[in-house]
C-alpha cells in the first residue's frame, strides 16, 4: 500500500499548464478543426506501456478540463502506485476535438512525472534495507521545480532545498570566494537565522575536518570514492550528518549506501530521468 500523495498546490503548476496550452495550441488545433466535426463525441484512455510508478494524473486530467470543462475525466489510480504495462491510467469522454487537442500535452506531463517517479523508485529500491535516505537536488527543468520534486517524492526520495531561499549549502565556489571552508562557514553561521540549516560541501578529508572544527554538523561529501567514504565515514559520523553525492548511479548506489552515510543525493533523478511510455487511444462511439 503506497502512502497518499497530495498533488502540489495548483498555484505552483497551473501557470505552467496554461503556458503549455498556449504554446501547443495557440489560436487553434488546425488538424482537429479540419478533420473532426464539432459535434463528434468519443472516449479515450491513457494507458501505461511499461511498468511505471504513477505520478501526475490530476495534472493530466487538468489539461482536458481546461480545454473543455464538460469533458468527463476519470482518474483510475493514485499517485505512488506501481502498475504493469497495459494498465489504464485515465479515461476521458466527451467532445473529440478537445480530447485530441489535449492528447500530446497530457502525455507530456504524465510521461515526465511518471518517468521521474519511476526512475527515482529504482534508486530507492536499490538501497532498500540500508537505512540511507535518498534526496533530490535543484537540477530540475526551469519552471518545473515543484512538479519535479513532487515526482521524486512519489518515487520515494526526500525533497531538499526547494530554492536558494530555504536552506544554506556552502559549495566549492562559495568556499573559494570566501577564502576557505572555515571562513565561509563562520560567515554563514554568524549571519543566518539559528533555525536555518547550513550544509558544507567538502572535497576531501582535510576540508571535512576543517568544516567540523568550525562547527559544521552537516557535510556534503562530493565526488568521493566509496573507498574513501568507507575509510572516513566511521570517523566522522558521530560529529555530523553525512551526505554523499556525485558520480552515483544505479550500478553503484548501493555500494555508496553501504559506506554508512546518512543520505545520498542524486541530480540525475530529475536531469536524466527517461520519460515513461504512456499513450492515449481513442475509441469513438458508434453512431
- For residue 194, is pLDDT > 90? no
pLDDT grade for 1, boundaries at 50, 70 and 90: low
Annotated catalytic, 171?
yes
Q: Is 231 among the domain residues?
A: yes
If one counts the domains in the chain, the total is 2
145 and 83 in a single domain? The answer is no
* Residues 102 and 194 placed together within one structural domain of the fold: no
Q: Choose the catalytic residue: 45, 78, 104, 189.
A: 104
Please compute the mean of the pLDDT values over residues 218-231 and round it to a whole number.
97
User: Would you call 182 a catalytic residue per the annotation?
Assistant: no
- CA-based Rg of the chain, rounded to a whole angstrom? 23
Please tell me whether residues 103 and 19 are part of one structural domain: yes
CATH number at residue 191: 3.20.20.70
Residue environment code for 192-210, b if the CB has 16+ CB neighbours within 10 A, otherwise e = eeeeeebbbbbbeeebbbb
The catalytic residue among 171, 237, 241, 254 is 171
Cα 13 to Cα 135: distance, rounded to the nearest angstrom: 22
104 is catalytic: yes
Is 201 known to be catalytic?
yes
Bridge partners for 88 per DSSP: 47
- Is residue 3 domain-resident? no
2, part of any domain: no
Q: What is the pTM of this model?
A: 0.95
222 is catalytic: yes
Interval 30-43: pLDDT, tens: 999 999 999 999 99
Residue 4, in any domain of the structure = no
The 10s digit of each residue's pLDDT in 73-100 is: 999 999 999 999 999 999 999 999 999 9
Q: Please state, in angstroms and as integers, the Cα–Cα distance from residue 94 to each residue in 23, 71, 97, 144, 282, following that order.
A: 24, 5, 9, 30, 11
Q: Catalytic one among 47, 58, 201, 207?
A: 201
Q: Give the active site residue among 43, 91, 139, 209.
A: 139
- Which residue range is the domain that position 173 belongs to? 130-271
**Is 188 in the same domain as 207?**
yes
Amino acid at each position: 500500500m503506497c502512502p497518499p500523495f497530495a498533488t502540489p498546490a495548483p498555484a505552483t503548476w497551473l501557470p505552467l499548464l496554461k503556458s503549455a496550452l498556449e504554446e501547443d495550441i495557440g489560436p487553434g488545433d488546425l488538424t482537429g478543426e479540419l478533420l473532426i466535426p464539432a459535434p463528434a463525441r468519443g472516449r479515450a484512455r491513457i494507458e501505461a506501456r511499461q511498468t511505471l510508478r504513477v505520478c501526475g494524473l490530476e495534472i493530466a486530467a487538468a489539461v482536458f478540463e481546461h480545454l473543455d470543462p464538460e469533458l468527463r475525466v476519470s482518474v483510475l489510480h493514485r499517485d505512488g502506485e506501481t502498475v504493469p504495462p497495459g494498465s489504464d491510467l485515465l479515461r476521458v469522454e466527451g467532445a473529440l476535438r478537445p480530447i485530441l487537442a489535449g492528447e500530446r500535452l497530457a502525455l507530456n506531463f504524465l510521461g515526465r512525472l511518471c518517468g521521474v517517479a519511476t526512475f527515482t523508485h529504482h534508486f530507492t529500491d536499490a538501497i532498500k534495507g540500508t537505512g540511507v535516505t535518498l534526496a533530490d537536488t535543484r537540477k530540475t527543468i526551469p519552471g518545473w521545480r515543484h512538479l519535479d520534486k513532487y515526482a521524486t517524492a512519489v518515487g520515494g526520495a526526500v525533497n531538499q532545498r526547494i530554492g536558494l531561499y530555504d536552506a544554506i549549502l556552502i559549495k566549492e565556489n562559495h568556499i573559494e570566494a570566501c577564502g576557505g571552508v572555515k571562513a565561509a562557514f563562520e560567515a554563514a553561521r554568524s549571519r543566518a537565522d539559528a533555525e536555518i540549516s547550513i550544509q558544507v560541501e567538502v572535497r576531501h578529508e582535510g576540508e571535512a575536518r576543517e568544516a567540523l572544527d568550525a562547527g559544521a554538523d552537516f557535510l556534503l561529501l562530493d565526488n568521493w570514492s566509496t573507498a574513501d567514504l568507507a575509510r572516513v565515514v566511521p570517523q566522522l559520523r558521530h560529529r555530523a550528518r553525512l551526505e554523499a553525492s556525485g558520480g552515483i548511479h544505479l550500478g553503484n548506489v548501493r555500494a555508496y549506501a553501504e559506506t554508512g552515510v546518512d543520505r545520498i543525493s542524486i541530480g540525475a533523478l530529475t536531469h536524466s530521468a527517461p520519460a515513461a511510455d504512456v499513450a492515449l487511444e481513442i475509441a469513438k462511439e458508434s453512431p
